[in-house]
Each structure stands twice: as C-alpha cells, then as structure tokens.
Amino acid sequence: MLLVDHQTGTLNFAANRPHEMIISRTRALARLAKALNIPVVLTSSQEDQAQGPLLEDLKSLLPEEFEARVKRAGITNAWDDENYKSAVLKAANGKKNIIMAGLTNDVCIVWPSISMVADGFDVQVVIDAGGSPSQIADDIAQQTWEGQGVRTTTINQLISELVHNWATEEGQRVFPILFEEVMSKVGQFS
C-alpha cells in the first residue's frame, strides 16, 4: 500500500471533497494495512515548504513506516524518485498488486500510478482517500489513469474486495475499521 503526500499543506489543495473524508479514508487505509499485514510505503514532498508535514495520524498509526518515509525533494512523479522506487520494490517483495492513495489525485497519484502500470504492476487508486483542486481535475485524472490501465476503487469497495466475509477472523479485525472510519461518518460529508 502506498500513501503519497498526505501532508497538512497539500490537504488544502484538495477542494473537491471534504478534508475530513480524505483523512478518515487515509486512516482507514493505514489501519487496514496494519490489520491485514500489508506493507506500507509513505512518501512526502518538500515537508519544509507549503506542502507541510505528513498528517500526524500517520505517525501514530504507522510509526515505523512514518520514520522510514521517503522525503522527496519535489519530484511530482514519485515513481521517478529512485529512493521511493527502491522502497516500493523492497516492500512489494516481488508482488505486483499495488493499492495507492494520495494528495492530490491530479498530480501526486496520476503519474506514478501510470508509471507503475507501465512497469508491470496492477495498480488500484482509492479515489476517496485523496482529492484534487476541483472535481473536473479529479475526473480528468481518473480518466487519464484508467485509460492507462489503472483501476479506481473506493475505501468500501477495497475493504469488501480484500475481506470477502465479515464472519472470518480477518473480517472481524477489519469490520471495526470500516465502521469507525467510514460508516459512522456516512451523512457527515455532503
């Protein structure tokens, strides 16, 4: 799982969905990864600039991954950053399925997702754990990545795809995440 540029300043560039929604979905992804033992790579861009630091929630939910985050020096396509690419390849350990989300979809997600598909990965973008400056920017980003073979999903759809059955041990570990981070907030975001 790749969480790209979920930074306090970059969050302000996402105007097409409520910030609380993006944060709750990002928290859900972090908690989901922990519950299902999915490796996570965090990255940020220019934390000392307008983008700001990564969300504090990521530090508390994924402390080891937070400390190991790849701090990019402004490269917009994270996949072009050799340190990031190395961290992702190490975490993937030969696997080809990638789940990713980030801020913003129209810049930080569209290009690395396409680049990773070109390099043979099966990539899913969790669209509601990110946003863009406008809905049209988000729509064009989605059309662009889907045109290159990247799949789009939402947090609910991803969780149900990964779990399959709430009655299993995995399902019992994951259901509280779905309820606390997503379902309990239904209706809060318009």
Calpha distance 101→103 (Å, rounded): 7
Helix (H) / strand (E) element for 178: namely: helix 169-181
Q: How far apart are CA 44 and CA 87, in angstroms?
A: 13
Residue 51 tokens read as: 């983008």
What is the rounded CA–CA span in Å between residue 134 and residue 55? 21
Q: Which helix (H) or strand (E) holds 4?
A: strand 2-4
Query: Closest Cα partner for 14 from 101, 74, 92?
Result: 101
Active site residue 33: no
Of 11, 108, 114, 177, the active-site residue reads: 108
Catalytically active residues are 108
